[in-house]
A = this chain, B = another copy of it.
Amino acid sequence: MLDQLLAPDLANLLEEGKSDDILDFLRDLHPTAIAEILTGLDPAETLEVMRILGEARAADVFRELPIAYQIDASDLLDTTDLARLVESLDPDDRVDLLKAIPREKFEALLRILAKKERDDIKRLAQFEEGTAGSVMTSEYIALNQDLTVKDSIERIRLEGAEAHSIFMIFAIDEARKLKGAIHLADLILANPEKKLSEIMDARPQSVNALNDREQAAYLFSRYDLVALPVVDADDVLIGLITHDDIIDVLELEQTEDMERFMAITGSHENIPYLHTTIWSHFRNRVGWLVILALLGLVSGAVMQSFEQTLANLMILAFYMPMLTSTGGNTGSQSAAVIVRSLALKEIQTKDGFRVLWKELRVALLLGIVLGALAFARVLLTASASHMQVSGAITALDIGLAIGIALAIQVVASTIIGAALPLGAALLGADPALIASPALTTIVDITGLLIYFTTARMILRI
């Protein structure tokens, strides 16, 4: 990676105060590449390089810094310098940063920003994290639907200084209601005298600002969109989500799914890991842990009810961790596969029985392999000292009992792992809600029941 190779060089030049060499060094680099290098430096060094680059270039580089580094740099800047950088950010990125800095600094900054920016920030900041409104930008081109193609192109020439985001333009009526979408390529290929209303797609996809951003991501993915207009309840155009914003949304949603699946509530997504408070990390994790610890006591109760069996044949205890963890592993595997297949719409709830039937056959194969393994292991290593319960029980018996119990446990936990997310989906809930740790704890309980029941039946103890 560029940053790891070049950051030390840059740090050296900084230390030696060689500003000209630094300028030389960075002259031909894309602002994004410079930003990449800066992530290898500490915040003070980053600001020093930005100072050397000069205001305009520094602003370009700052835009491209990951938000964690923007926050770090913000800590060291006074309000005036920060305001200048903040003004140069895209409206949506600006709001993300402002939400993450301390409240007082945010207020101080708002006071010195121009009214136009201030209003824009307040408008965008009102949408809760997770909504479509929270990821939209206020920079887009909306033209009256009665404008001609020629006049529209003229307007784009005037408004479209930031050409990088113009791929679609939107047609509105007097009340700013969204009426249509026009692909830029279609606009330039159209007869210049036609009205926008004649060439526009009159039923464009759009999303309500209060909807979940996941809905926006779904529309992008389903309709291969490059831009999605955001409207309010009256269908008035109030913002735009662009293709690059949706990539960020997908990454955030991925984090949410992964964390949810690992029994973490809430999220640290709005604020990067190192900026999230310990208290908030704690709060996100403790809930499930307490519930699952209580559930884990049920496993203990199961063991307790088989106390005599255990006391008679201590060897059973030594294979218990292998049995419960294998159950947890197979269950987590099938749950992960099903959760993803549901998310990608490869399967739907109506396929439930086909899925369970498939998982059953996979589980039988796995159960045979793992059961045989456990059987062989017991035979090979069972020490004679543990076999003398009633004289009638041999290592073969014990191996058989443990192997069969493990095979049943593998089948049962695979099916439970597949059935729970399917059940959640059937109830309209997020399948990822069936957190893997919860599953592991549940199959611990069923596993111990299976284990001791099988052992009792086969060994008659």
Contact = CB atoms under 8 A, between A and B. Distances in A.
Q: Is the interface of A mostly helix, strand, loop or mixed?
A: helix
Interface in A178-210: 183-186, 188-189, 203
Contacts of A272: 341, 344, 346-347
B251 A226 contact: no
Given A188-B188, A332-B263, A326 B282 contact: no
A244 interface: yes
B303 A321 contact: yes
A393 interface: no
Interface string A31-58: 0100010011000000000000000000
Contact of A281 (B203, B257, B335, B358): B358
A345 B273 CA distance: 10
A225 B225 CA distance: 14
Contacts of A281: 337, 358, 362
A230 to B, nearest CB: 18
Interface in A153-194: 153, 156-157, 160, 163-164, 166-167, 183-186, 188-189
A322 interface: yes
Interface stretch (A75-83, A122-130, A348-356): A348-356
Contact of A322 (B157, B273, B299, B348): B299
Given A243-B243, A299-B325, A355-B273, A160 B189 contact: yes
A274 B183 contact: no
A293 B370 contact: yes
Given A370-B289, A373-B290, A259 B221 contact: no
Interface string A213-255: 0000000111111100000000000000001101110110011
The winner among A68, A243, A343 for most chain B CB atoms within 10 A is A243
Contacts of A290: 369-370, 373
Interface of A: 30, 32, 36, 39-40, 66, 68, 153, 156-157, 160, 163-164, 166-167, 183-186, 188-189, 203, 220-226, 243-244, 246-248, 250-251, 254-255, 257-259, 261-264, 268, 272-274, 278-279, 281-282, 285-286, 288-290, 292-294, 296-297, 299-301, 303-304, 307, 310-311, 314, 317-326, 328-330, 332-333, 335-341, 343-348, 350-351, 354-355, 358, 361-362, 365-366, 369-370, 373-374, 377, 436-437, 440-441, 444, 448
User: Which 4 pairs show the lowest CB-CB distances between chains A and B?
Assistant: A296-B322, A299-B321, A262-B336, A300-B318
22 contacts: A66-B346, A68-B347, A167-B184, A167-B226, A184-B184, A226-B243, A250-B254, A251-B343, A255-B344, A263-B333, A264-B336, A272-B341, A273-B347, A274-B351, A289-B326, A289-B369, A293-B322, A293-B373, A297-B319, A317-B317, A321-B448, A440-B440
